[in-house]
């Protein structure tokens, strides 16, 4: 099994939760805070790049070359960034779904 396939298993529920959150947000007329989401995403991806490159470069984590796509950011395979992307999508989605509607009036 490739790492991309493992990531797909994790992304299916993330996409479903995100779709439910987008539907709920649109229904209540909310607009996304795109600059905030992009800034948070950039910071998280940068931190992931640094951390993952240290782990892989130090030999603490290894990847079977036959099981990765071959694309790398530094020495870390791109598949390693999937969990960060999933968290960046899932956390705001869950936040939206757990939001309580204000009482009328």
pLDDT 10s digits, 39-71: 999 999 999 999 999 999 999 998 888 998 889
- 2 close to 68: Cβ distance less than 8 angstroms: yes
Q: Does 102 have pLDDT greater than 80?
A: no
Instruction: Let me know if residue 22 belongs to a domain.
Output: yes
Q: Tokens standing for 33?
A: 């805070």
Domain count, the chain: 1
Q: Which residue range(s) make up the domain with 92?
A: 3-98
Q: Is residue 47 part of a domain?
A: yes
With a cut of 90, say whether residue 86 has pLDDT above it: yes
Task: Give CA separation, 77 vs 10, 47, 53, in Å.
Answer: 17, 15, 9
pTM of this structure: 0.82
In this prediction, residue 79 carries a pLDDT of 92
Can you give the three-state secondary structure of the chain, one letter per residue? CCHHHHHHHHHHHHHHHHHHHHHHHHHCCCCCCHHHHHHHHHHHHHHHHHHHHHHHHCCCCCCCHHHCCCCEECCEEHHHHHHHHHHHHHHHHHHHHHCCCCCCC
């Amino acid at each position: 099994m490739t790492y991309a396939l493992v990531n797909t298993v994790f992304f299916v529920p993330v996409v479903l939760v995100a779709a439910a959150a987008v539907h709920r947000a649109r229904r209540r007329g909310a607009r996304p805070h795109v600059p905030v989401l992009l800034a948070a995403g950039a910071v998280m991806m940068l931190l992931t790049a640094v951390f993952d490159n240290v782990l892989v470069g130090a030999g603490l984590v290894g990847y079977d070359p036959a099981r990765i796509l071959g694309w790398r950011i530094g020495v870390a395979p791109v598949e390693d960034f999937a969990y960060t992307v999933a968290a960046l999508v899932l956390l705001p989605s869950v936040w939206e779904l757990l939001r309580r509607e204000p009482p009328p009036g």
